[in-house]
Amino acid sequence: MMPEMLLFVLCGLLAGLLGGYLGLGGGIVMVPFLTVVAGLNIKVAVPVSVTAIVVNSLASSNEYLKKGMVDLELVVALSVFSILGNITGSNLIDAVPGNVIRLILAVILAYTALSLLTKKGPEKRVGFEDNRRRYLMVCVVIAFLAGVLSALVGIGGGVILVPLLYTIIGLPLTTARGTSSLMIGFSSAAAAAVYLLNERTDFAVVAPVAAGIIVGAKLGGFLGTMAKPVAVKILFFLVMLYLAYKLSYDALAGVI
Contact 33, 14 (CB under 8 A): yes
Residue 23 has a pLDDT of: 62
Over the chain (256 residues), the average pLDDT of each successive run of 10 is 80 81 71 80 85 81 84 90 90 77 74 69 50 84 86 77 84 85 86 89 91 83 72 76 77 68
Alpha carbon of 93 to those of 19, 54, 227: distances in Å?
23, 19, 36
Residue 25 has a pLDDT of: 61
CB atoms within 10 A of CB 253: 9
Residue 84 has a pLDDT of: 92
- Helix extents (H) in the chain: 2-22, 27-32, 42-66, 72-91, 98-118, 136-153, 158-163, 173-197, 203-224, 229-255
Residue 256 has a pLDDT of: 59
Between CA 196 and CA 140 the distance in angstroms is: 26
Q: How many domains does the chain have?
A: 1
Residue 89 has a pLDDT of: 87
Between CA 101 and CA 97 the distance in angstroms is: 7
**Structural domain span for residue 218:** 2-255
Question: Is the C-alpha dihedral spanning 185, 176, 107, 242 positive or negative?
Answer: negative
Buried b (16+ CB within 10 A) or exposed e, 48-70: bbbbbbbbbbbbbbbbbeeeebb
Query: In one letter, which amino acid is 48?
Result: V
Q: How far apart are the first and last CA of the chain?
A: 36
Contact 44, 205 (CB under 8 A): yes
pLDDT tens-digit map of 119-166? 555 444 444 456 788 888 888 998 898 888 888 877 777 778 888 888
Between CA 58 and CA 165 the distance in angstroms is: 19
